[in-house]
Amino acid sequence: MASTGEFELALLTSDVSAARAALPPIERPPQVDVLTTLEEVRGAVNTVAASAQRLMSIYTPNLEPDLYDQTDFLEIVKRFVLARSFAKVRVLLGDPTRLMRETHRFVAMSRRLSSYIDIRPLDEDTPEPCPGYVIADDRAMVYRANAGRWEGVVDLDNPAAARVHLADFDAQWIAHAPDESYRLAR
């Protein structure tokens, strides 16, 4: 049959459901919640930390006691590392003097569970203002562009955004690896 150059109506209406089935599913849009208060940030940090299955990565300027020296958070971390032999908590700390001069329950826990919790101090190259974030695995995160303020966002299922910040964290983690001689002396 010769074509007249016009669309045939049958082509436009033929099995639309089959054409839709061939398309990839539409991903759920990220469910980003805005945080503005300490209580919201604390709740979001606890929720993200509780969602971790393998790895928890924390970037903090000074181990913010209002977030990381709280009983609820410490219980979540303790359950996380003791329930899984492969669990790891990594912390990049902007102010390394905080490790020496203060009693912080998270630091004390990291000393007792040193094979699960690793804290690395950053050098003087810490960005100003310093961001603050917690990433669970490569999926959920709480992010604050300025850790000196409580404004931030939380997303419990956004692998793309979490991986961007996790890549930055990993680069900083590798760049601030302790000297091997220091580890042997410890």
CATH of the domain at 164: 3.30.870.10
Question: Does 22 map to a domain?
Answer: no
Question: Does 2 map to a domain?
Answer: no
pLDDT digit string, tens, across residues 56-100 = 999 998 899 999 999 999 999 999 999 988 999 999 988 777 666
The per-residue pLDDT for 68 is 94
Question: Does 62 map to a domain?
Answer: yes
Question: Does 11 map to a domain?
Answer: no
Question: Does 21 map to a domain?
Answer: no
Q: Is 43 exposed, middle or buried (0-12, 13-18, 19+ CB in 10 A)?
A: middle
- Which DSSP category does 143 fall into? E
Q: pTM of the predicted model, to two decimals?
A: 0.79
pLDDT tier at 18, thresholds 50, 70, 90 = low
Nearest CA to 49 out of 68, 65, 25 is that of 68
Token pair for 130: 């310093």
The radius of gyration of the chain from alpha carbons, rounded to an integer in Å, stands at 23
Question: Does 143 map to a domain?
Answer: yes
Distance (Å, whole) CA 23 – CA 2? 31
- β-strand pairing of 55-60 with 88-93: parallel
* Percent of the chain whose predicted confidence (pLDDT) is above 70: 75
Question: Does 156 map to a domain?
Answer: yes
- β-strand pairing of 152-155 with 33-35: antiparallel
**Domain containing 146: what range?**
29-177
Is pLDDT above 50 for 184?
Answer: no
Number of domains in the chain: 1
Is pLDDT above 80 for 124?
Answer: no
The distance of Cα 65 from the centroid of its chain, to the nearest Å, equals 18
Which phi and psi (to 5°) does residue 70 adopt?
Answer: -105, 140
Question: Does 53 map to a domain?
Answer: yes
